[in-house]
Amino acid sequence: MSDAPLFNTITLIGVGLIGSSLARVIREKGLARRVIAGVRPGAAAETLKRIAITDAVIENPAEAVKDADLVILCTPVGSYGKIAAAIAPNLKPGAILSDVGSVKDLVLRDVGPHVPPGVHFIPAHPVAGTEQSGPEAGFAALFDNRWCILTPTPDTDPKALAKLHAFWEACGSKVEIMEAKHHDLVLAITSHVPHLIAYNIVGTASDLETVTNSEVIKYSAGGFRDFTRIAASDPTMWRDVFLANKDAVLEMLGRFTEDLIALQRNIRWGDGDALFDLFTRTRAIRHQIIDAGQETNRPDFGRGPGEGK
């Protein structure tokens, strides 16, 4: 990579886990001369001023995008349309407008109509994260060896696309180009439905009348414990994701329900061969994920002593 930064000014609208991780990696790798945080007044803004991971904290997103060469929306996807309408008049010609949301078709619909002529709108989704949230949760290595999916439209400027591609690669990501609707279908089964199942099973455990909450906490084995990690994710973000990607999520939930009924039948009728075949197939998927470098093969999901949360 050249010593010259990719951008003069990058503005991050909303600086939680993803935004603060971007701020850190941009600074660490010199990807911009200035990093601006555009946030609403409040506790997050005060935290950003204290931890000083950006060059400026501007408590008005519309003001924060002035002179920015790259603007990245890092708020929950349900807020994108309103934010896009507010910042549109101040986006300069030639700037790239992007995002980090895990739903892409809705982003095209909600943000696209507000994008001024001459501004390059290229939705993106870094497939990376933890259950933590807030400005202090970020870290520069979050995107290392993780995929970032770009979903350009047929009229996207190739040079702008190449520049955003280079940006995410410089952040440590592997980059894939995908059509927005297909992205949403893929993420429905790999991310959205698993989160929904985790929220549901933890909610079911908390509602059981025959098992007390103290027993649920005390006797949490590895499986339930790992469901609670997923179910601890940001409630606002995931509410918006499920509402924004409802068609794909409902389609995958329908398929999941059919398979769950078949599994229930196998257990009821003692079909051990069917259970063994399923468990063998799913175990192979786990090994493929490890082989692809998307998870650790260390025992207990890589937890060391005292890392039980």
pLDDT values of the chain reduced to their tens digit, one per residue, 309 residues = 457 899 999 999 998 899 999 999 999 999 999 999 999 888 888 999 999 999 999 999 999 999 999 999 999 898 999 999 999 999 999 999 999 998 999 999 999 999 999 999 999 999 987 777 788 888 999 999 999 999 999 999 999 999 999 999 999 999 999 999 999 998 888 888 888 888 887 887 777 756 666 676 666 666 777 777 777 777 888 788 888 888 888 888 888 889 889 989 989 999 888 888 888 887 777 767 666 665 555 544 444 444 433
CATH 1.10.3660.10 positions along the chain are 182-270
Give the integer Cα–Cα distance in Å for 308 and 230.
14
Give residue 197's Cα distance to chain centre. Answer: 17
pLDDT for res 61: 95
* Phi and psi based region of residue 252 (left: phi greater than 0; alpha: psi -120 to 50; beta: remaining): alpha
pTM of the model: 0.79
Question: If DSSP codes are grouped into helix, strand and coil, which group holds residue 303?
Answer: coil
pLDDT for res 301: 43
pLDDT for res 57: 94
What DSSP character marks residue 36? E
Neighbours of 297 (CB within 10 A): 11
Pick one of 3.40.50.720, 3.30.2350.10, 3.30.300.130, 1.25.40.10 as the CATH number of 7-178.
3.40.50.720
**Which contacts qualify for 296-301: CB closer than 8 Å, 24 or more apart?**
300/222, 301/222, 301/226
Owner of token pair 């001459």: 118
Tokens found for residue 47 = 């935290």
Beta-strand (E) ranges in 167-235? 174-177
Adjacent-strand bridge partners of 229 = none
CATH 3.40.50.720 positions along the chain are 7-178
In what order do the strands lie in the sheet containing 124-126? Answer: 124-126, 147-150, 174-177
Question: If DSSP codes are grouped into helix, strand and coil, which group holds residue 175?
Answer: strand
Tokens found for residue 69 = 């060469």
Give the integer Cα–Cα distance in Å for 20 and 257.
37
Give residue 77's Cα distance to chain centre. Answer: 10
Q: Are 205 and 211 in contact (CB under 8 A)?
A: yes
Pick one of 3.90.76.10, 1.10.3660.10, 3.40.50.720, 1.10.760.10 as the CATH number of 182-270.
1.10.3660.10
Give the integer Cα–Cα distance in Å for 286 and 290.
6
